[in-house]
Amino acid sequence: MPNLDAAFSALADPTRRAILARLANGEATVLELAEPFDITQPAISRHLKVLEQAGLIVRRVEGTKRPCRLSKDGVDAIDQWLAMLRKALARNYERLDQVLADIKSADTKSSNRKEKQ
């Protein structure tokens, strides 16, 4: 199970977010991931290590290459946490909608009583 604290800490860095965005298109090697950045390959490797430790990517050995890909478990853990927040937010909006409907209903009843008098 990925550590959400480590995952969100890893996501705080824009380079790591860009790496994950690239990996959303498919597996890539360290050199392919380093290509668009103006940083060294060892720096990219350090970023990859952080992402791997956070459970957001997995690497495999293919000869001298170390292709990386997104970790389904890591992405799913973040998605589940965000889904919980989305549900809570939806419930809050539903309660607000009900309060506003009650206020509108009370205002309508009050206006109707005044018109009858």
Does the residue 91 lie in any domain?
no
Does the residue 38 lie in any domain?
yes
Whole-angstrom Cα distance, residue 86 to residue 102?
Answer: 24
| CATH number for the domain that contains residue 43 | 1.10.10.10
Grouping H, G, I as helix, E, B as strand and the rest as coil, residue 74 is helix
Does the residue 37 lie in any domain?
yes
pLDDT tens per residue, range 23-77: 999 999 999 999 999 999 999 999 999 999 999 999 998 888 889 999 999 999 9
- Total domains in the chain come to 1
Whole-angstrom Cα distance, residue 51 to residue 75?
Answer: 11
Q: At what angle do helices 14-23 and 41-53 cross, to 10 degrees?
A: 80
Query: What percentage of the chain has pLDDT greater than the value 90?
Result: 68
In this prediction the pTM is: 0.76
Cα 95 versus chain centre, distance: 26
- What residues make up the domain containing 47? 4-71
